[in-house]
Amino acid sequence: MDTQSYGLHVGGRWIDAPESFTSRNPARPAELLGRFARATPELVFAAYESAADAQERWRRTSPIARGEVLYRTAEVLAGRADSLAEELAREEGKTLREARAEVGRSVSILRYFAGEAAQPVGSVLPSAGERTFLFDQREPVGVVCIITPWNFPLAIPAWKIAPALAFGNTLVWKPSELTPLCAVRLVEAFAEAGLPPGVLNLVTGLPEEIGDAVTGNPAVGAISFTGSAGVGRAIQAAAVARGVKVQLELGGKNPVVVLEDADLELAVEQTVRGAMLSAGQKCTATSRAIVTASVQDEFTEQLIERARALRVGDPLDEATDLGPVASEQQLERVLGYLAIAREEGLECALGGDRLEDANGGYFVSPTVYLDVLPESRIGQEEIFGPVLAVMAAASFEEAIWIANLVDYGLSASVFTRDLTRAFDFVRDVQAGVVHVNSETPGAEPQAPFGGTKASSSHSREQGKAAADFYTQVKTVYLDLPG
Catalogue the active-site residues.
249, 283
Q: Please, which residues have CB within 8 angstroms of residue 180's CB and are 6 or more apart in sequence?
A: 6, 23, 34, 36, 204
Instruction: Compute CA distances 112 → 20, 163, 468, whole Å.
Output: 36, 9, 16
Q: Is 480 helix (H, G, I), strand (E, B) or coil?
A: coil
- Alpha helix positions (H), 130-200: 155-166, 180-192
**Apex CA 406: angle with CA 377 and CA 379, to 5°?**
30
Report the run of H or E that residue 88 belongs to, with start and end.
helix 81-92
Alpha-carbon gap, residue 81 to 90, rounded angstroms: 14
Alpha-carbon gap, residue 376 to 365, rounded angstroms: 21
Alpha-carbon gap, residue 221 to 215, rounded angstroms: 10
234: Cα within 13 Å, side-chain hemisphere: 9
Amino acid at site 267: A
Instruction: Compute CA distances 34 → 9, 19, 37, 184, 212, whole Å.
Output: 16, 13, 10, 11, 25
Cα of first residue to Cα of last residue in the chain, in angstroms, is: 78
User: Can you give the length of the chain in residues?
Assistant: 482
Alpha-carbon gap, residue 414 to 168, rounded angstroms: 40
Please, what's the b/e burial string for 418-456 (b: 16 or more CB within 10 A of its CB; e: otherwise)?
eeebbebbeeebbbbbbbeebbbbbbebeebbbbbbbbb
Amino acid at site 91: E
Q: Please, which residues have CB within 8 angstroms of residue 301's CB and are 6 or more apart in sequence?
A: none
Amino acid at site 68: E
CA torsion sign, 322 to 326 to 328 to 332? Answer: negative
Nearest to 456 by CA among 390, 465, 96: 465
Alpha-carbon gap, residue 245 to 142, rounded angstroms: 11
